Structure 1
Amino acid sequence: MLNALSILARPMLLALEPEAAHELTLRTLELGLYPRPPSPAARSLEVALWGLTFPNPLGIAAGFDKDARVPDAVLGLGCGFAEIGTTTPKAQPGNPAPRVFRLVSEKAVINRLGFNNAGHAAALARLRARAPRGIVGVNIGANKDSADRIADYVAGLDAFYDVASYFTVNISSPNTPGLRDLQSPEALDALLSRIMAARDAKIAEGRPSRPVVVKFAPDIAQEDVAEIAAALLRHRVDGIAVSNTTLARPGAAGPTAAEAGGLSGRPLFCRATVMLARVYRATGGQVPLIGIGGIDSGETALAKIEAGATLLQLYTGLIYEGPGLIARIHAHLAKACAGRGVTSIAQLTGARSEEWAAKPLD
């Protein structure tokens, strides 16, 4: 019944202004009005990583649930994990509206939201109030007006340490001026030194280790990939998320494509997947990767894994394909495992990384 209603609701949501449609979606999920998967994901899709067992490798990317309103609903939809955020120490409204634009014919979105969120306190209160269930990561960022952005990331780790399954350090949004400067090797060293030292201090207190993932943009110059990869290996990060939205406009045309902001969705797929494969090759497959960008089918999900991903996240694909996409991806990945005679989806990670890394970005 709810599956049929979600199909009927999609044209209505697309008729609404994008942020209004997003708010309506969140409120519907808060009420528990969403389709459940017809059956659990196949055992072949389980992923053992960071001392955690992910029921399947698929999650929804940060930006969907900025304030930890619906992590349990995301898990209930059939995702193997949820990630809330990006959350910043202080609440901030983000950039002026309009700031989200659909490119329907390209199945894409441009946004320049600017880390709009209600701040650490609001998200933390919700996470503390929920019963512990499933894997829920926290994506942390810095306030636009912060005098010490690295301190904002450390504050995020401190605030959420006892409720986060893992952390994602988001230094890749194009919508906070100067944020991507933290991706430069020198700035990255400074950031990771403080983040990892803060985590080490928690461990020294007898608290459990929390995995730290760093999220990058798909617009990094090829000549910088090796140096950035070396910095990540040197600081022993637990994972790398590739990638965020792009400032490029591959496969996008028309007046809406000229809007400022980051592009997500189908046109991002090739660029993000090539960058994923290049990071996988540059790190020698030593660091688990989360593949993000342009996943809107079972075929694109499998391609991300073959390019080097251990986990996956999608978002824009759900806008155009609906929540049924999650079960379709599960079925395709399970079929791929069976067809190739492997017992775990992890055995397909990086199978075509060399081929993908050799492709042009767009």
Structure 2
Amino acid sequence: MAAMNMIEAINSAMDVALERDRAVTIFGQDVGYFGGVFRATDGLQKKYGASRVFDAPITEGGIVAVAVGMGAYGKRPVVEIQFADYIYPAADQLISEAARMRYRTGGEWWSPITVRSPYGGGIYGGQTHSQSPEGIFTHVAGLKTVIPSNPYDAKGLLLAAIEDDDPVLFFEPKRLYNGPFDGHHDRPVRPWAKHPASEVPEGHYIVPLGKAAVAREGTAVTVLAYGTMVHVALAAAEDSGIDAEILDLRTLVPLDLEAIKASVQKTGRCVVIHEATRTCGFGAELAALVQEHCFFELEAPVERVTGWDTPYPHAFEWEYFPGPKRLAEAMRRTIEI
């Protein structure tokens, strides 16, 4: 075991993958000599050489297109889109090529690619460095979507993604890169500072895709969360004194529906929280699934606590984020009905 923050755990996962499998290749903007804008690939080019860890031009569509071709040829490329906000030029390659490769060829070819990207706000990145586009891609059949909330899961899930034979989008919450931020506050408390690291195995291990984790056990209400919002939910439960059960989804596609059903059937109430905008956010899918599968156990309507339906409001970033106060109010509404 070693003390690692999320960036270090992600770096360790790629290090392990490169060492174990010659088919693994890493490329993207500034990931080689510079080691990535957030240092996630720091030292990997020096260790494995420029033929396996290398820089790419500023062309997201080209990066993913090359990855799709490499995957069909038998490689396992891990590419970085420098910010999730820049992923849209690659949308056609992800949706029309990577996601459909296995189906359109009758299983003759597939697309074992992993697309890493920092996502979400909280680092004063402005409108074009802070978006949360997971809801767009969870709609696409054939793509898997992973969002870790802690270093241990980040490493194990990334290794599982790299070894998976289908295309995986691996969104990394930037607010958690240096350790869990102080979730008790609706405003930042030095979000760029390093926090106490977590214990993470140095070698190879897997956190299976499609398996949620109970971050906190409780009986009063179920909170469905992922990424940064897991820490907001933990803080909300502690600050409010509400006996909430907090489920860390970890992967959105595939989704651990059985874990969701078990929790909601136990508590009878459910609140969904995510940073992305409300309309057509992934929380809407979660609310629909809970209603479909747990209708007779529900004691109150499913609540959603989300970002605003507006272009990313840089000047009001910390009002936009769902915080512990807003989440606690939603939990109380469900309990008091």
TM-score band by shorter chain is 0.3 to 0.5
Q: Which has the higher strand share?
A: 2
Q: Which has the higher helix share?
A: 1
Q: TM-score, normalised by structure 1?
A: 0.35
Q: TM-score, normalised by structure 2?
A: 0.37
